[in-house]
Amino acid sequence: MSKINIIEMYKYRFLLKELVTRDLKIKYRRSFLGYLWSLMNPLLMMWILTLVFSYVFRFDIPNYPLYLIIGQTIFGFFSESTSMAMMSVIENAALLKKVYVPKYIFPISRVLSSFVTMIFSLMAIFIVMKATGVPFKITLLALPLSLFFVLLFSVGVGMFIAAITVYLRDMMHLYSVVLTAWSFLTPIFYPISIVPQNIRWILQYNPLYYFIDYFRQIVLYDTLPSLHTTVFCFELSIAAVIIGGIVFKKLQKNYLLYI
């Protein structure tokens, strides 16, 4: 079965490409700055949050702007891509009703188009690195690995949430609340050290914490994460894809009757 899927995926590679370009086109249609927003947005957000958190709360974090923009970019990608994936099957009802298309292509394409936007946002991170005098070292070559983990993880969660939402539209409203809670449970703007010991275990169950930390270790602390950490992150992201894939496949048979 998996063999068939790979052949099928290959056949539909043009569609995947077409869907990703469509998403990107629609996203910045009629805005003057277009793709520049993928760069400006994280910078502006970082600027505001840095202002807020340097006056209101004070965290003892070296190079706070960089710390912040990394967490923000990774979490922003996860939250945007899964929210878009959530609606993907429902929104493509018109196409699904007329012609056979493998349905998993829709959540995957949404996550991918969001990933492309995030690649633009990486430029913002590099700008902040440059501005704060962080050296560009060879360890940066490990960066794609951390992006790959988040990508896989988002694909998994995206498929899961898309499948559920077809049957239970309430997810649309619930998920934004879940994301807000999740963002506070992820050390994006605060250091792990301020989390009280008795609730710190929650972080252990938050995959995004590991991915963000992985990224920060490379860029901010200039270290290569250990092999053990790498394998663990890989396992987490693969597990997400497998679970999301199974749930999606189990539920997809009756999608047409609900969209």
Partner 1 sequence: MTNNIIEVQNVTMCFNLVQEQFSGLKDLVIMASRGKLKFNKFFALKNIDLQIKRGEAWGIIGRNGSGKSTLLKLISGIYAPTKGKIKVRGSIAPLIELGAGFDMELTARENIFLNGAVLGYSREFMKNNFAEIVAFAELEQFADVPIKNFSSGMVARLGFSIATMVKADILIIDEILAVGDAVFQEKCYKRMRKMMDNGTTVLLVSHNIADVKKICQKVLWLDHGQMKMIGDVQNICNSYENI
Instruction: Give the residue among 85, 209, 87, 65 at the shortest CA–CA distance from 149.
Output: 209
Encoded tokens for 41: 């947005």
| Contact call for residue 256 and partner 1 (CB under 8 A) | yes
CA dihedral 66, 72, 77, 78 (to 10 degrees): 130
| Closest approach of partner 1 to the CB of residue 27, in Å | 13
Site membership for partner 1, residue 6 (CB under 8 A): no
Which run of H or E residues covers position 88? helix 64-91
Residue 18 or 235 with smaller CB distance to partner 1: 18
**Interacting residues with partner 1 between 143 and 182 (CB under 8 A):** 170
Q: Tally Cβ neighbours within 10 Å of residue 186.
A: 21
Distance of CA 70 to the CA centre of its chain: 12
Q: What's the CA angle centered on 152, arms 205 and 105, to 5 degrees?
A: 130
Stretch that binds partner 1, among 46-54, 98-106, 120-128, 138-146 (CB under 8 A): 98-106
> Which of residues 33, 44, 95, 178 is near partner 1 by CB under 8 A?
95
| Interacting residues with partner 1 between 100 and 119 (CB under 8 A) | 100-101
4 binds partner 1, rule: CB under 8 A: no
Could you give the residue ranges of the DSSP H alpha helices within 132-170?
143-167
C-alpha–C-alpha distance, residues 162 and 251, integer Å: 10
- Which string of x and - marks every residue 15-54 that binds partner 1 (by CB under 8 A)? x-xxx--x---x----------------------------
Contacting partner 1 (CB under 8 A), which of 7, 14, 135, 204?
A: 14
Q: Using CB under 8 A as the criterion, which residues of the chain lie in contact with partner 1 when the complex forms?
A: 11-12, 14-15, 17-19, 22, 26, 94-101, 170, 253, 256-257
